[in-house]
Structure 1
Amino acid sequence: MKENKIKNAEKIIDLNEVFSEKIPRELLHIYEKEYIKKIARCNRFLSAADSVKKDAMRIDAKSVNVGSVVNYSSKLWKKLGAEMQGSIGKETKKFVSCITPDGAELNMKAFDACDRLAVIVDKTGAVSTMIIDRLRRYALGSGYDVVSCICSLDGKTVEHIIVPELSFGAFSSEHYHRILPKKERRVFASRFHTKDSELYKNRINFSLKAYRSLMNEAFDSLIGAQAEERKINYIFDSIVDVYDAVTEIIESI
């Protein structure tokens, strides 16, 4: 009995050695802290980028001819030949884009079912959000279900819409969301602006440059966070090896 106890004690000592040698706890804490720091840094830059972009949109909206926006939206909706359904449509909100270490990625497959796609090329979103919001209201008011694609930066703004029953979509195209010419109808936001737009041109361009710079910093932060995550995962993979070693020791007792 005494000999068995001694052997078991020796096994316990070996078990402690396995954990201390193969799991670098201090490194794990360092990597976790760095990961949290980089994610927090990314969030700060994204928040700043969103603020700058909204400022550019607000300035750009000052020179928008709202009457032209209303007329265009109304004519575009009428061309779809959508009949009144006698009810109110249902709105579904979803994300078709996301912020990644590789940049702002867009899932264009979401628009594959759109035989007709209206693309509004708008660097600030001041015009495109107005047009898309009106089309969204027309569709819902006429009884058609609408898929509203939400901005991944602020989680609120409707950037694009899809009306499945009409095989129609409206897409806001800007620096991070671009679409290749195919079956869409393209219109440029500049046609909806008055001559006053020249007064704000330099300020808007400066804001957009700052916006892209802030976004790039956010992407870099995510790249750093991804690197830290790989280090953490490597350590956790070693933990699996430790438990395999522990299992062998337990089975040998």
Structure 2
Amino acid sequence: MEPKVSFFLGANTPSGFYSLYDQLIDPDEARRVYLLKGGPGCGKSSLMRRVAAALEEAGEAAEYIQCSGDPGSLDAVVFPRLGAAIVDATAPHVMEPKLAGVVDCYVDLSRFYRREELLPLRGEIASATSGYKSHYKRAYHCLTAAAQLMEDNRALLSTPALEAKALKRARGILSREVKKTGRQPGRAVQRFLGAVSCQGVSCNFETVDALCRRVYELSDSYGLASGMLTALAAGCMSAGYDVILCPSPLFPERAEHLLVPELSLAFVTSTPALPYPQRPYRRIRLDAMADAELLHKYKARLKFSRKVTAALMEEGVDALAHAKAVHDQLEALYNPHVDFEGVYQEAGRITEELLSMK
């Protein structure tokens, strides 16, 4: 089985939940977007999986958008060739119609709750809902502290000389790998390739391997890759290629990975904590571009910061795991009181609509 193409459109960041859901699908190319509404345990993820499985069996490619809180759950699925998507349009990534009735339509799954059975559970549901939010608050505090230490390390080593070396290397790669097409400049769409979640710090490197045969691994211990990736993205777009620019979950304003599917070319940041697991096409050692004297001078400080950062990240992940446990309790309260047969019939209806668009 070929690896699935999976991304995230949300991230747990030091400033809270960061959303890229406005980039779910190009508005100019969108033909049908289903906005799922409904609370916990009502079958949103299950519906999306059913529809996606049916369409993939019919030969359609699907792009899976995982939940940043729980990567085992789906927040959206996109069918690029059809210009269609299904998305969990509830908080924290609320979405509303852009072209109501023409492209977007609501799908209210809350109608499948058996309300009369849920009423006696009101107190338990309210308690679980409150506890869930408090764990996220703790997680964001830990991520904030970790990000501040990581930024200190990056600032110590990010010199004009290093930036010049990285830019020179980027130009060399572009001259070798990216031929001008004569087309209009390409476009960039943003997707998170990784996440900080209840499962730890992760990255969907299998998505890279599914989309791109040639992978440049940027070996980077100190967050130095962003400038080089930005230059590579600009060069690819200037030559007429669309790119997928993947921000860092902790620093969403900075690029962490770059994919150019049309060229089957990717540039991935590989760190000691999260290394690229395959043999790369080429490896670029950004650490080696840093000033050797600075690395020696601040060796103890950098080592201490990495150790403390790892501990803070572990605490943040633990808080997210507790949030997931509470959310599981919440879903367990709701699940027995949902008409899942009705949910699956709705999935069948949506599947038929999408297949008719082929």
What interval of TM-score do these two structures reach, taking the shorter chain for normalisation? 0.7 to 0.9
Q: For residue 75 of structure 1, report the CA deviation from its aligned partner.
A: 1.5
Q: For residue 115 of structure 1, report the CA deviation from its aligned partner.
A: 2.1
Q: Retained in 2: the 8 A contact 1:85–1:144? A: no
Q: Retained in 1: the 8 A contact 2:247–2:254? A: yes
Answer with 1 or 2: which has the greater Rg: 1
Q: For residue 124 of structure 1, report the CA deviation from its aligned partner.
A: 1.3
Give the Cα separation in 2 of the matches to 1:181 and 1:199: 33
Q: For residue 19 of structure 1, report the CA deviation from its aligned partner.
A: 7.3
Within the alignment, does 1:33 sit opposite 2:122 as a pair? Answer: no
Q: Retained in 2: the 8 A contact 1:49–1:214? A: yes
1:18-167 alignment runs, 5 A limit: 23-62=120-159, 65-85=162-182, 87-112=184-209, 113-126=211-224, 128-167=225-264
Q: For residue 44 of structure 1, report the CA deviation from its aligned partner.
A: 1.7
Aligned to 1:208: 306
Aligned to 2:284: 187
Tell me: CA distance 1:219–1:153, structure 2 relative to 1, closer, same or farther (3 Å).
same
Give the Cα separation in 2 of the matches to 1:97 and 1:109: 11
Which secondary structure does the structure 2 equivalent of 1:133 belong to? helix
Give the Cα separation in 2 of the matches to 1:86 and 1:35: 49
Task: Give aligned pairs, total.
Answer: 222
Tell me: CA distance 1:219–1:64, structure 2 relative to 1, closer, same or farther (3 Å).
farther
Report which structure shows greater RCO (CA 8 Å, sep ≥6). 1
1:157-208: CA deviation from partner (whole Å, max 9, x where unpaired): 1101111222111111114432123242112223212232222222222222
CA RMSD of aligned residues (A): 2.5
Which secondary structure does the structure 1 equivalent of 2:298 belong to? helix
Which secondary structure does the structure 1 equivalent of 2:292 belong to? coil
1:132-164: CA deviation from partner (whole Å, max 9, x where unpaired): 122112112222211101112232211011112
- In the alignment, residue 69 of structure 1 is paired with which amino acid? A
Which secondary structure does the structure 2 equivalent of 1:105 belong to? strand
- In the alignment, residue 189 of structure 1 is paired with which amino acid? L
1:220-249: CA deviation from partner (whole Å, max 9, x where unpaired): 0011112212222233346569xxxxxxxx
TM-score normalised per structure 2: 0.56
Give the Cα separation in 2 of the matches to 1:233 and 1:70: 49
Aligned to 1:196: 293
Tell me: CA distance 1:24–1:70, structure 2 relative to 1, closer, same or farther (3 Å).
closer
User: Which structure features the higher share of helix residues?
Assistant: 1
Which secondary structure does the structure 2 equivalent of 1:179 belong to? coil
Tell me: CA distance 1:43–1:190, structure 2 relative to 1, closer, same or farther (3 Å).
closer
Aligned to 1:230: 328
The percentage of counterpart residues that share the same residue type is 22
Tell me: CA distance 1:170–1:19, structure 2 relative to 1, closer, same or farther (3 Å).
closer
Aligned to 1:219: 317
Tell me: CA distance 1:30–1:227, structure 2 relative to 1, closer, same or farther (3 Å).
same
- In the alignment, residue 140 of structure 1 is paired with which amino acid? M
Give the Cα separation in 2 of the matches to 1:84 and 1:201: 46
Structure 1 segments unaligned to the other structure (5+ residues)? 1-17, 242-253
User: Which structure features the higher share of strand residues?
Assistant: 2
